Amino acid sequence: MKTYSRNSRRISWGSEENLGRASVRGGLITALGSWVRFAIQFGTTIALARILGPTEYGAAAVIVIFGAAAELLRESGFSTLVLQRRNIRRELINALHYSSVLIGLVLGAALAMAGPGLAQAFDNDRYKLFALLLSPVFLFASLGSIPNALLARNFEFKKMASIELLSVLASSAAGLIAAALEAGALALVVQSVTFMVLQAVLTVIACPWRPRMSGNIRILKASIPFLWSVSFVQLLNYVSRNVDNVLVGAFFGPRAAGLYNQAYQLMIIPLQQVNGPLQRVFIPVLSRIFSDPLRYRRFVRTIVLTVSSILWPGFAFLFIYSDVLVVTIFGEAWRESSAIFRALVFAGVAQALGYVNSWIFVSSGQVQRQMTWVLITRVLIIGSFFVGIPWGPYGMAVSYACASCLVVVPGFLVVRRRAHLSLSDLFRPIVWPAVLTTLTVVAGVGLRQVMPPSGNLLFLGLNLLSVCVIVFAGAFCIRPIRDQLFAVVAQIRGA
């Protein structure tokens, strides 16, 4: 039986030292690349929001959601299977690739044909053109899906980070040029298409693997339950995270959609920048050590502690300064999105742990159970948006936040037994991050009284710097967090 052979930098999963070094290096590279990407994208978003205004921005945001579904192909069950398997046959990789491409073609054609219907539903004839322009991204995303997974499987995180950085730079430039030329909402479409196409092309070039011209998709038969479960879960997650933007646009118009989308982006960007890259590192690692329950349990606790220590204090700061932050960065026209964002912060806090639950589901082989659980919870999440509609976009945000908080602990209860975990593995690691978050709130509220931010970027920066100094000092005084930091530093030096 032939297996996919890795390059000369192959990682020996049997060695704890090599695994630790690989995961730390991968985490550092992906985190650094992700934050650089975030800085570029956030700067571009600010510029586009100021140029376009809420109405044009909202008109584009609604249709771009449909094109963004192409990302599901890149991170689908096909690529997850490549990451999750210890050994994988060349024939299976080939079949996965061609199946992914076929699905990409079908979905791209479906979006192109849906253009007239979308234009009628949202009373915007431009959606016909937008849908046509966005349709090719499905094909390109599917072409890059398996090569991207193989790069991650072989810990080629430098290549992956470089590809994302180049794609972000090019797409941001394209979007800004289009906006400067008064393309309006089309600027966001141009940005999205440029990113997805360039990322796929560069990924295919960077990956040494090439598909054979012939493939037998019947080899996928044994993997269909896994592929279906993971892909269905991701689809439900995608729908639950985007249906609110579509509903706001349909019920309250493009301006409300723009305000809501901007608030949602402020909430989801920190989650994506921290948890998205870490997923590519942690799922392969957790999958390989699952046979060692004690080691697996320790690693899960480390992940919970790390994710909550990074995200929760950040969300606390954004909550306290959201009004000043929105007006200072995006302009007075966006002030109304501040209240929506404050409601969504609580959803962000809950989803930080929700990501960890999903990693445990996949790495422990519970994808069928995950599918059932996600089906139940996503129905609840989607239903919460409809419950909030009578109270406008703010009511939808509050309802969504409540539903997100309600499903975290039950989700861990569902996954914990077969993963050899207990409730203490969730609650004990979050105690000190909760203390750190409380310290952030106290410091932020106190500083607003002593040094009120005046809408000036410099004063806002001084407030942020002051809060960071206080929080970092507090983190250093909290032994579990300090010990974890020292452990990571030690692994970096050993690498």
Q: Is the model's pLDDT at 153 over the cut of 80?
A: no
251-267 average pLDDT score: 89
pLDDT at 149 over 60: yes
Axis-axis angle for helices 186-206, 157-180 (nearest 10): 160
Residue type, 144: G
**What is the dihedral angle through the alpha carbons of 484, 490, 493, 495, rounded to the nearest 10 degrees?**
-80
Question: Quick one: pLDDT band at residue 22, thresholds 50, 70, 90?
Answer: low
The DSSP letter of residue 4 is P
The rounded mean pLDDT for the chain is: 82
For residue 6, the 8-state DSSP code is: P
Kindly report, residue by residue over 395-444, the tens digit of the pLDDT: 999 999 999 999 999 999 999 888 889 899 999 888 888 988 998 888 88
The residues near 244 (Cβ < 8 Å, ≥ 6 apart) are 260, 264, 385, 396, 397, 400
Report how many helices (DSSP H) and strands (DSSP E) the chain contains, helices first: 17, 0
Give the model confidence (pLDDT) of 365-395 as tens digits.
887 888 889 889 988 999 999 999 999 999 9
**Could you tell me if 388 and 442 are in contact, meaning their C-beta atoms sit under 8 angstroms apart?**
no
pTM: 0.76
What whole-number distance in Å separates Cα of residue 58 and Cα of residue 257? 5
CA distance 162 to 139: 22
For the chain, give percent helix, strand, coil, nearest 5: 85, 0, 15
Instruction: Tokens for 450, please give them.
Output: 């002593």
Sign of CA dihedral 303, 306, 310, 316: positive
Average pLDDT over residues 16-38: 63
The pLDDT confidence band at residue 19, using thresholds 50, 70 and 90, is low
CB 143 within 8 A of CB 211: no
Structure tokens at 214: 């012939």
Contact 484, 305 (CB under 8 A): yes
CA 475 to CA 171: how far, in whole Å?
37
Say which residue, 468 or 338, is predicted with more confidence.
338
Share of the chain above pLDDT 90, in %: 22
pLDDT of residue 160: 84
Distance CA(95)–CA(146), nearest Å, equals 10
Q: According to the model, what pLDDT value does residue 1 have?
A: 40
Q: What is the secondary structure of 352-368 as a DSSP string?
A: HHHHHHHHHHHHTT-HH
The label of the residue with tokens 């209240």 reads 339
Percent of the chain with pLDDT over 70: 87
Q: Name residues whose C-beta falls within 8 Å of residue 206's C-beta, 6 or more positions apart in sequence.
A: 147, 151, 156, 159, 163
Residue 485 predicted with pLDDT over 80 = no
The answer to whether the beta carbons of residues 460 and 284 sit under 8 Å apart is no
Cβ atoms within 10 Å of 248's Cβ, excluding its own = 29
C-alpha–C-alpha distance, residues 477 and 432, integer Å: 11
Q: Which helix (H) or strand (E) holds 48?
A: helix 16-68
- Give 205's pLDDT tier (boundaries 50, 70, 90): very high
